[in-house]
């Protein structure tokens, strides 16, 4: 393995930190992935075009900016991919503090929870914020647990529509509320940095409700009230 690391040459040159060296030494898949990514970049003309551009632009004269790019890409992707299998109920329960309170019978909202994730279609980042409103059924979740659980759910490749559904299902299992709504607003770099090259905010919402407490005809009213709470909270934060 030591010889294989020394032979990386073109892919990694000198590793920036001992931590990066340890990651390579303990995970041969990073070596192979880095080599494959370098091969793909070369096939697509990346190195040839950068070399041509560096002849006319002094800013690209230093190749250290992109020599380690294959390793950085492999390391970043692996971090997201590893989080797929760590997306477990055990991890969620370890991050949950629940209080019992049967006196609250109004919507509770938690607004503007920032998130960032990786689009599973293009492996481009997307980010935005999550709004949550729920009608308790005797269980109240500690405020800091909402962003913590959102962060865990976002730490793997996904799409916004699935993220919204997974979040509402997660909080529904934890709290068993009478009603819950999760609204995810995101901006996708796969649109803003490529393709149409336009920033298009996307909003997707998911709801769950317990028919024992909430009638079907009451759902639209609760959704409207939740959206109103989200808007009022954002307006208050801008002041």
CATH of residue 187's domain is 3.30.1130.10
Same domain as 147, residue 81: no
Please give the residue range of the domain that contains residue 196.
Answer: 98-238
User: How far lies 194's CA from each of 124, 190, 200, 217, in Å?
Assistant: 10, 6, 12, 43
What's the chain's length in residues? 239
Residue 6 within a domain: yes
Same domain as 193, residue 118: yes
Residue 38 within a domain: yes
Residue 191 within a domain: yes
Same domain as 63, residue 14: yes
Same domain as 74, residue 108: no
* pLDDT, tens digit, 9 for 90 and up, residues 57-74: 666 667 777 888 999 999
Residue 19 within a domain: yes
Residue 9 within a domain: yes
Same domain as 62, residue 104: no
Residue 111 within a domain: yes
Please tell me the total count of domains within the chain: 2
Residue 91 within a domain: no
Same domain as 137, residue 225: yes
Residue 12 has pLDDT above 50, yes or no: no
Same domain as 106, residue 189: yes
Confidence (pTM): 0.81
Q: What's phi and psi for 57, nearest 5 deg?
A: -125, 120
Domain C-terminal end among 85, 107, 130:
85
Residue 5 has pLDDT above 50, yes or no: no
Segments in the chain forming alpha helices (H): 2-6, 18-26, 28-43, 46-54, 64-67, 69-85, 89-93, 145-154, 160-175, 189-192, 219-238
Q: Rounded CA gap, 19 and 85, in Å?
A: 23
Residue 213 has pLDDT above 80, yes or no: yes
Residue 165 within a domain: yes
For the chain, the farthest-separated pair of C-alpha atoms sits apart, in whole angstroms, at: 71
Domain C-terminal end among 85, 107, 136:
85
Same domain as 212, residue 112: yes
Q: Rounded CA gap, 180 and 153, in Å?
A: 17
Same domain as 206, residue 156: yes
Same domain as 81, residue 183: no
How confident is the model over 86-94, as a mean pLDDT? 63
* Triad 162, 164, 169: Cα angle to 5°: 95
- Banded pLDDT at 7 (limits 50, 70, 90): very low
Same domain as 75, residue 102: no
Question: What is the per-residue pLDDT for 52?
Answer: 75
Same domain as 172, residue 204: yes
Residue 239 has pLDDT above 80, yes or no: no
Domain C-terminal end among 32, 57, 85:
85
């Amino acid at each position: 393995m030591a010889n294989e690391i020394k032979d990386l040459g073109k892919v990694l040159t000198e590793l920036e930190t001992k931590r990066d060296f340890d990651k390579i030494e303990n995970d041969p898949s990073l070596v192979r992935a880095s080599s494959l990514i370098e091969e793909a970049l070369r096939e697509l003309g990346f190195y040839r075009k950068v070399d041509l551009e560096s002849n006319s632009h002094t800013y690209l004269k230093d190749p250290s900016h992109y020599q380690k790019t294959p390793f950085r890409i492999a390391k970043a992707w692996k971090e997201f991919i590893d989080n797929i299998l760590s997306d477990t109920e055990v991890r969620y329960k370890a991050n949950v503090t629940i209080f019992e309170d049967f006196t609250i019978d109004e919507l509770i909202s938690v607004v503007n929870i920032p998130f960032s994730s990786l689009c599973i279609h293009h492996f481009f980042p997307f980010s935005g914020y999550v709004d949550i409103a729920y009608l308790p059924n005797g269980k109240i979740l500690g405020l800091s647990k909402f962003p913590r659980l959102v962060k865990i759910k976002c730490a793997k490749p996904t799409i916004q529509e699935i993220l919204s559904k997974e979040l509402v299902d997660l909080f529904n299992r934890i709290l068993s509320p009478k009603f819950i709504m999760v609204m995810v607003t995101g901006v996708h770099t796969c649109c803003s940095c490529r393709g149409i090259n336009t920033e298009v905010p996307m909003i997707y919402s998911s709801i769950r409700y317990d028919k024992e407490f909430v009638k079907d005809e009451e759902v639209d009213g609760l959704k409207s009230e939740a959206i109103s709470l989200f808007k009022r909270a954002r307006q208050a934060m801008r002041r």
